[in-house]
Amino acid sequence: MAQNPPNNRPNGDDDENNPQDPFSAMFGQLFGGGFDPNDLPPQLRDALGAQGDPAAMQKMMQQAQAMMSAMMSNNASSGPVNWKLASDTALQAYASDDPAVSEARNNAIRDASNLSDLWLNNATVFESNGHMTEAWTRKRWYDKTLATWKQVTEPVAESVAKAITSAMKDQIPEEMKGMLGNSDSMFRTLGASMFGMQLGTALGGLATDVLGGTDIGLPLAGTTPGIIVTNVSKFGDGLEIPEQEVLLYVVLRENAHARLFARVPWLSSKLIGAVESYARGIHIDMSAVEEAVRDIDPSNPEALQSMLGEGMFAQQRTPAQEKALESLELTLALIEGWVDHVVSLAAQNLPFAGHLRETMRRRRASGGPAESAFASLVGLELRPRKLREAAALWEHLHEERGTDGRDAVWDHPDLMPTVEDLTDPKGFTHRRELAATEFDDFDAALGKLLDGGFENLDPEAGEDPEGKDESGNPEDPKN
């Protein structure tokens, strides 16, 4: 096995070729060998919050250095999120209760997956992609979904990093500015670590709460269906429903999501794109950040995390954000409504299907503490607010058109229902027929133009498409 190079540096260079990170350098100057807090100017001691007490300041600096060193040593990239620190923090949230999946549970999930495929075949034209439902631990869920989390959170983290950098630079005491050197880089690193810690806490909470890869509406693990075994067991506690029935219902929902995302290729990109568009337009309330920075207790490093909470995001949305949010909420509602409806058809033989359906509806509508923590961090809730209306629309289309006609609505994003369709399901077909007629008329006129059908028209000669002269009488074909 390869040995780590000296000093835990990836290239094994010594201090001369690989200088200390700026935080270590700063704190080394402040309390390195022979450091005496009384040597600092009184203004600096007061600015650091030690009230002139050398022992208190020494303890405070040691705590701060320990935290900063941990952040810097975990800084796996120069991006807006320290993902190594995020993963380590998430692990602390779920590692204490993340049992391995037993062979018996694996077999039960395999059986449930096979049965759910048979039932879904009769409820939708979308076929299975052939992937068996996977049995995940909480850590496996985190690893499978990490790539998607990076995609949807880094635009937010970029805005947060800029805000933190600006706010903390303004709070630096004048006596310390000479010690900090490249403070922009330093505070971006600090911002990436702070966001990583908070995001890790939120994702760790989600790992203990979500049931599978699509439980919050996003295809977090791609088109591979999977459930977190211990979370499904926890979800079933107190429902007074046989455990196997709860498991089968959850697998049905996960597999229905997987079929939809696999067979409607544009859907994932539309959904993730709406989240990214919203995130890129997020504005940070600088006054809230500056106030939080001022109120941080340097002797309590954990207080840094509380800065990234509710109230950090500016309430006013841009027009682009409003459009992205409307698109996101509508798409989430249509996805969840379709899954709700299709699973209700597939699960007709389950004695407690109605009870489980209502439980799931309420769960998706209200979310949980972990989902709320994630929403406060990224400034966005991923809840299908019109789930019931969307389910009613899909039920109407199923009665009107059958399974094939209902699922054909997913053929193209331009054919998808609108907010108006959710409030008036019965008018959906009529509105689409009118739109199709207008499109056909336009298409026919465009085709005639391209074929040269209008090339003989000469407005200056008084001709019109009906072949009449200027007086409106039919032209003499002999002339």
How does DSSP assign 110-159, residue by residue?
A: HHHHHHHHHHHHTT-SPPP-SPPPEEE-HHHHHHHHHHHHHHHHHHHHHH
Q: Are 78 and 186 in contact (CB under 8 A)?
A: no
In which residue ranges of the chain is pLDDT below 50? 1-35, 43-44, 47, 50-52, 63, 66, 74-76, 299, 301, 310, 463, 465, 477, 479
pLDDT value at residue 460: 54
Is the pTM of the predicted complex or chain greater than 0.95? no
Clarify whether residues 236 and 367 are in a common domain. yes
Domain stop point among 388, 421, 440: 388
* Cα 97 to Cα 108: distance, rounded to the nearest angstrom: 21
Write down the number of H helices and E strands in the chain. 19, 2
Clarify whether residues 51 and 185 are in a common domain. no
SS (H, E, C) 428-442: HHHHHHHHHHHHHHH
User: Is 275 contained in some domain?
Assistant: yes
Indicate the burial class of 441 (C-beta count within 10 angstroms; 0-12, 13-18, 19 or more). Answer: exposed
Strands (E), 90-150: 134-136
Domain stop point among 388, 411, 429: 388
Q: Are 88 and 204 in contact (CB under 8 A)?
A: no
Residue 452 zone, left/alpha/beta (φ > 0; ψ -120 to 50; rest): left
pLDDT value at residue 432: 82
CA 344 to chain centre: 27
Find the domain containing 344 and state its range. 83-388
Clarify whether residues 197 and 281 are in a common domain. yes
Backbone angles phi, psi at 177, to 5 degrees: -60, -35
User: Is 158 contained in some domain?
Assistant: yes
Clarify whether residues 150 and 59 are in a common domain. no
Clarify whether residues 58 and 88 are in a common domain. no
CA 277 to chain centre: 11
* Cα 34 to Cα 367: distance, rounded to the nearest angstrom: 54
pLDDT in tens, 271-324: 888 888 887 777 776 676 666 666 655 545 455 555 555 455 665 678 888 888
Q: Say which DSSP state 212 is in.
A: B
Clarify whether residues 68 and 151 are in a common domain. no
Clarify whether residues 69 and 141 are in a common domain. no
User: Is 91 contained in some domain?
Assistant: yes
Q: Are 93 and 205 in contact (CB under 8 A)?
A: yes
Q: How many domains does the chain have?
A: 2
Q: Say which DSSP state 413 is in.
A: G
Clarify whether residues 262 and 322 are in a common domain. yes
- Please report the DSSP string for 156-174 in residue order: HHHHHHHHHHHHHHHHS-H
Q: Are 391 and 341 in contact (CB under 8 A)?
A: yes
**Per DSSP, what are the bridge partners of residue 468?**
474
Domain stop point among 335, 368, 388: 388
User: Is 434 contained in some domain?
Assistant: no
Closest CA to 282 of 200, 189, 198, 380: 380
CA 421 to chain centre: 26
* Cα 205 to Cα 234: distance, rounded to the nearest angstrom: 14
Closest CA to 74 of 57, 91, 55, 97: 91
Element (H, E) at 404: helix 387-408
| Amino acid (1-letter code) at residue 138 | R
User: Is 417 contained in some domain?
Assistant: no
Clarify whether residues 90 and 234 are in a common domain. yes
* Cα 250 to Cα 35: distance, rounded to the nearest angstrom: 61
Dihedral sign of CA atoms 209, 211, 213, 218 in order: negative
User: Is 155 contained in some domain?
Assistant: yes
| Amino acid (1-letter code) at residue 200 | G
Report the relative pairing of strands 226-228 and 134-136 from DSSP bridges: parallel
pLDDT value at residue 29: 40
284: helix, strand or coil = strand
Clarify whether residues 136 and 163 are in a common domain. yes
Scan for tokens 């407690």, then name that residue: 352
pLDDT value at residue 78: 64
Clarify whether residues 68 and 110 are in a common domain. no
pLDDT value at residue 110: 96
Closest CA to 339 of 402, 406, 405, 272: 406
* Cα 316 to Cα 282: distance, rounded to the nearest angstrom: 9
SS (H, E, C) 235-267: HHCCCCCCHHHHHHHHHHHHHHHHHHHHHCHHH
User: Is 398 contained in some domain?
Assistant: no
Clarify whether residues 62 and 170 are in a common domain. no
User: Is 439 contained in some domain?
Assistant: no
pLDDT value at residue 6: 39
Of the chain, the end-to-end C-alpha distance in Å amounts to 99
